[in-house]
Structure 1
Amino acid sequence: MKKAFLPVVLLLVLIVSACGGNKQEQSSSPSASAAPESSAPASSEAPSQEASAGTVIYESENGPVEIPASPQRIIGLTNAPNIISLDGKLVGVDEWTKKNPLFADKTANVETVSDADLEKIIELDPDLIIAGSWMNNLDKMSEIAPTIVYTWGKLDYLAQQLEIGKLLSKEAETQAWIDDFTSRAKAAGDEIKAKYGENVTVSVFEYDLKDVYVFGNNWARGTEILYQAMGLKMPAKVEQDALEPGYYTLSQEVVPEYAGDFIVLSKNKEGNGAFLDSETWKNIPAVKNNQVIEIDTEASSYSDPTTLEYLLDIFKKGFLGN
């Protein structure tokens, strides 16, 4: 009896050992669903782990969060334009995105919602919420649906878009757009500098009811394109006062001191444009030389692919006529 039993035991041990070896080999292989840490730029070396059927683990800035692999009902309290640019399926957006004319078609049937509207968020039945770290009720939102939090400015505009691409399982598509966009923007910048000189300068101004603002290199209004992607220069006064904080408030009298060879003017429909009829404005060399490029404030207040492509086209025509 014992002699007949031993081979069976050995056979079972061999089978269990082989199965264990297969499991160990599989666990050392990266998952097909990738989502590196949100604080880092593009990387394909830190894939997400598959959590359960239809979900993945996303490494957010607040730690790992289990999210749908293909979310169908997203509430974008922040970064909604980035989501729209990747055809994310939104059911709720912030009021500023809703007002933006570039996204009117995509948000026509999407509800306006804020971090204070918990009842409305529940009614929208989201499977994913994207919020800002400064917002209220983050813990309560996390009880409604998986909630991913981003801190504004922690990532640059391209890294932020790539992070949304990872979140929506569209990392490769997003990286391809980044590579193509930066190449085209740099080429346009090189062409501008070849035409006007390496040291040609540009200022970005905006006005409201009482003040005028000049922007640094990362405050939307196309600043990321002009100063980062195109490599154009800002006047010394702009660099001194606006580069670090992002923007600087001016009195109308000193605007000429901050004006570059070219001016990008963000026109605010709700602002007081009477300043544009003043002699102070009319006597700025860029204004006299017809080197003012106008953009719409409402359509220029984000740095997502849709907005960037829209502004790149305007800038190419404004600087180069093509």
Structure 2
Amino acid sequence: MNKSNFIFCVILVLLSVIFVGCSNSERQASGKEQNKKTEPQTRIVSTIHGDIEIPADPKRIVVDAYLPTLLLLGEQPVGATDSDLENVHIQDLIAGIESTGENSVEAILNLTPDLIISADAEKSTFDKLSKIAPTVIIPYETYRDVHEEVRAIGEMLGKGKDAEDWLASFDSNIQKQRDRINEVIDENETVSIFGAFGKDFYLYGDGIYRGGQAIYKQLQLTPPERIKNELIDTGETFKQISYEVLADYAGDYIFLDESKGGSLDKKDNVWVSLDAVKNDHVFYLDLKRFWPYDPIAVLAQAEEVVDMLVAKKKSEK
């Protein structure tokens, strides 16, 4: 083969390789484009108002009550209520989120959402919001546990892996707090959550109120027998009681919420007779920190409760 023929053959081989490479690239690009076209653009969510079709990948979410859960899943809503945005546990995460007041229809409309998530179960609320965008109503107390809430909303938004990753971190952190508390609190020692709200008095269980989930469900602190029987075992998250029977529900440690003008008479015989009061085992809850009940707040509350109990035990040594 002379030199000219050899060069010609080499050029043919190179051209063939280039042609095959281009063909493969075109097929791959075509395949990716085809996959994009075949991926579902919407998903169906079962709600209290029946099946709702929502975007598979919403870009402009407006939310009421579930803002922290969306944030931990990596979603940044375009709008949220004032009460959501005032949550002290998420202040470093909310930059750029617009306020919708307390579900102002006009404010929500101006944000042009493609999905609305709300806890307001009033039929009139759904009727108004669903005219703006697909609306999913998840009523208050639908979820009684961090894992249930994060997984459910993660599944709804196609964020199942993000949900499991966050929960793994949550569980690890909670276990650290349990280990800390087990070093200072005996499992036979009991803990109560009391509340003075306006003129009324309340007990709280392991639900969404006053750190109940953090104290009982996550840290697994022991409630007095009557709180266990009358609230936790029955699924009740709170119970109004008369002041005179406080002693029947008092634990070795008391966490006390005083809000909306409510207060306990600290000189009253009923109060001063409690062992927790005599032993200075009463802890006052900051409503800004213990009224929120979202997953991020629950973790923060668990850490704060343990800090309070550990500090008290150290001071007694």
**Is 1:57 paired with 2:43?**
yes
Aligned residue for 2:17? none
Query: How many residue pairs end up in the alignment?
Result: 271
- Whole-Å separation in 2 of the counterparts to 1:204 and 1:156: 17
Question: 2:133 is matched by which residue type in structure 1?
Answer: A
Q: Deviations over 1:211-240 (max 9, x none)?
A: 121111113322112222222221122223
Offset of residue 168 of structure 1? 4.1
Q: Deviations over 1:15-44 (max 9, x none)?
A: xxxxxxxxxxx9xxxx99xxxxxxxxxxxx
Aligned residue for 2:135? 147
**Is 1:101 paired with 2:88?**
yes
Maintained 8 Å contact 2:218/2:302? no
Task: Work out which of the residue numbers 139, 146, 150 in structure 2 matches 1:161.
Answer: 150
Aligned residue for 2:68? 81
**Is 1:121 paired with 2:108?**
yes
Maintained 8 Å contact 1:193/1:200? no
- Whole-Å separation in 2 of the counterparts to 1:283 and 1:250: 18
Maintained 8 Å contact 1:130/1:149? yes
Task: Work out which of the residue numbers 164, 167, 170 in structure 2 matches 1:178.
Answer: 167
- Whole-Å separation in 2 of the counterparts to 1:276 and 1:176: 45
Maintained 8 Å contact 2:289/2:301? no
Q: Deviations over 1:256-304 (max 9, x none)?
A: 2211111122343x32335345443233211222222332123222332
Task: Work out which of the residue numbers 212, 220, 223 in structure 2 matches 1:223.
Answer: 212
Taking a change above 3 Å as real, the CA distance of residues 191 and 95 of structure 1, as seen in their structure-2 partners, is same
Secondary structure class of the residue paired with 2:265: helix
Tell me the percent identity: 26
Offset of residue 210 of structure 1? 0.8
Question: 2:106 is matched by which residue type in structure 1?
Answer: E
Q: Deviations over 1:164-219 (max 9, x none)?
A: 23344432222122233234324533553453322221111122221121111113
Task: Work out which of the residue numbers 251, 261, 266 in structure 1 matches 2:252.
Answer: 261
Q: How well do the aligned residues superpose, as a CA RMSD in angstroms?
A: 3.0
Task: Work out which of the residue numbers 216, 231, 235 in structure 1 matches 2:224.
Answer: 235
Question: 1:318 is matched by which residue type in structure 2?
Answer: M
Computing the radius of gyration from Cα coordinates, the structure with the larger value is 2
| TM-score, normalising length: structure 2 | 0.73
Maintained 8 Å contact 2:79/2:99? yes
- Whole-Å separation in 2 of the counterparts to 1:91 and 1:282: 50
Secondary structure class of the residue paired with 2:107: helix
Taking a change above 3 Å as real, the CA distance of residues 101 and 87 of structure 1, as seen in their structure-2 partners, is same
Offset of residue 248 of structure 1? 0.8
- Whole-Å separation in 1 of the counterparts to 2:181 and 2:52: 44
Secondary structure class of the residue paired with 2:106: helix
Secondary structure class of the residue paired with 1:233: coil
Question: 1:79 is matched by which residue type in structure 2?
Answer: Y
Aligned residue for 1:198? 187
Maintained 8 Å contact 1:65/1:148? no
Task: Work out which of the residue numbers 289, 292, 304 in structure 2 matches 1:314.
Answer: 304
- Whole-Å separation in 2 of the counterparts to 1:95 and 1:219: 19
Taking a change above 3 Å as real, the CA distance of residues 86 and 282 of structure 1, as seen in their structure-2 partners, is farther
Maintained 8 Å contact 2:45/2:156? no
Question: RCO higher in 1 or 2 (8 Å CA, sep ≥ 6)?
Answer: 2
**Structure 2 residues without counterparts, runs of 5 or longer:** 1-30
- Whole-Å separation in 1 of the counterparts to 2:80 and 2:268: 39
Task: Work out which of the residue numbers 182, 186, 189 in structure 1 matches 2:178.
Answer: 189
- Whole-Å separation in 2 of the counterparts to 1:262 and 1:150: 34
Secondary structure class of the residue paired with 2:285: strand
Maintained 8 Å contact 1:97/1:103? no
Question: 2:261 is matched by which residue type in structure 1?
Answer: G
- Whole-Å separation in 2 of the counterparts to 1:278 and 1:128: 52
